[in-house]
Amino acid sequence: MLTSHLRDLGSALVLLALTLFGVACATPQAPDLIQWQIEQSHPYVMAGDVTEEVINVDLAAALPTEMEARIPLNLSIVIDHSGSMNGEQMAHARDALRYMLAQLQDDDHVSVIAFSTQVEVLQPQTEWDDVDRGDLNARIDQLTPRGTTAMYEALQQAYSEVSSHYDAARINRVILLSDGIPNDPTYITSIAQQARSSNIAITTMGLGPYYNEDLMAQIADLSGGNYRFIKESGEIERFFLAEKRSMEQIVARNVSLTFNLGPGAELVQTLGGQASFNGRQVNVYLGDLSVSDPRQIALKLNVRAAASGARVEILDARLTWEDVIAWTGTHEAWAYVEAEATRDQALIDKHHNKLVVEKVGRLHAAWEMERAVYDYQAGRKEEARQRLMQASQQYREEKQAASSWLQEAPQAAPAEPTVGVTAGSANLESFMDDAIQGLFSDDESEEESEKTKVLIKSVKSRARSESGR
């Protein structure tokens, strides 16, 4: 597929490809654990005018075979058994919970929290080797669907359990599985923020059509965990396993990117992460970085250049992270992006990196998908349809332009693949076309159906996946 091919080839004009431990901290016990790469769309910009510039950042973690070592877990698993968890859902949740527990190592710490109207601690935070597993399995067997959804109280209890055994040398995490709307969501995000400040990530797993996907995603984003949409309850076990593998492959935590904009750059948009702003500084918190979860962040900028021949300061970037493999502390690395002003439009066009534009275009298409769904839910259906159609068409054009540019200048492609490009499907535009057909059918009675609710969650989940969140 074209997109996959382009990502394998990477950028034609790689501005910076830095191995962080080699730049910021030459630690022989932890070589080449994290790599990042920054690319720009325009190394030349028009003097006396404004040029639209896109900056793409790829992050990847790698763990050499000789350094492979499992980091023990300090984990709390939180299971919803409210009245909506009926039928197969409860049975699958119980089976998946038992499966997840069976994957633990003896030195892991774990607690199990069940909640409906009230919260029940099925297992306090304990080293797995000391758990009475027969008693715990009997308690799990007794879980039946009943009552309402006391999610806030359950998360509060899980956070307390993990905090009570917090260990900086472990992966400290809460995993929440729920299919419903919390009784009171008012203070739930405050728990997520508190967890982040304590280096405890919260992964949320939403099941079925009726939970609040925006809240569940916000909990994960604020705390540095993962958000996962589970369409069918039979898939819970697979998602639990994916989360376990992700935790076991973490090489860095508290990963954060900071961009300081130069005098010639004005920010238009950030893509691919949760950004905060402080004047002309852009901060993107990424949380844990796992071998299996590369990340991609992009900025869209307007760059104003002065006289021809001048160097235009666009931005500097600072990456910070905490090593959890060799435990060598907190590290940082810096990069700098600039351009040269010219009045030669042919020179600008010749070096316009359309591979970077296509790569960032996928992030933008994913962002447009999310916005379209919010428009749809707000009743602005025609705006939503137009947004999806235009995003799909624009991405098709960017892919075609990148392909043509590569054919015209094959020598521009680097010999090695680019670092850590987030894995995205080559048929994103086809997915958007299917979303258009599914959301804007002639049958208006389907608007509030389970099918439509699942499609909305699928679109939001796909958008997050495409942008590496």
Q: What is the pLDDT of residue 230?
A: 93
User: What CATH number labels 73-248?
Assistant: 3.40.50.410
Q: Is the pTM of this model over 0.85?
A: no
Q: What angle do CA 295, 20, 217 make, to 5 degrees?
A: 25
| pLDDT averaged over 10-residue windows placed end to end, the chain, 469 residues | 40 36 39 84 95 95 73 95 92 94 95 97 97 96 95 97 94 95 94 94 93 93 90 92 89 92 94 89 91 90 92 96 86 94 94 92 89 89 90 89 78 50 59 81 60 84 75
Exposed (0-12), middle (13-18) or buried (19+): which is 65, by Cβ within 10 Å?
exposed
* Domain ranges, ordered by start, for the chain: 73-248, 355-466
For 66-87, give the DSSP string.
GG--PPPEEEEEEEE-STTS-T
What is the sign, positive or negative, of the torsion defined by CA atoms of 13, 419, 465, 435? positive
Q: What is the pLDDT of residue 468?
A: 65
Nearest Cα to Cα of residue 352 among 52, 5, 36, 139:
52
Q: Are 36 and 337 in contact (CB under 8 A)?
A: no
> DSSP code of 186?
T
Q: Are 444 and 248 in contact (CB under 8 A)?
A: no
Q: What is the pLDDT of residue 47?
A: 95
Q: What is the pLDDT of residue 405?
A: 81
CA gap 284, 307 in Å, rounded: 33
Q: What is the pLDDT of residue 411?
A: 56
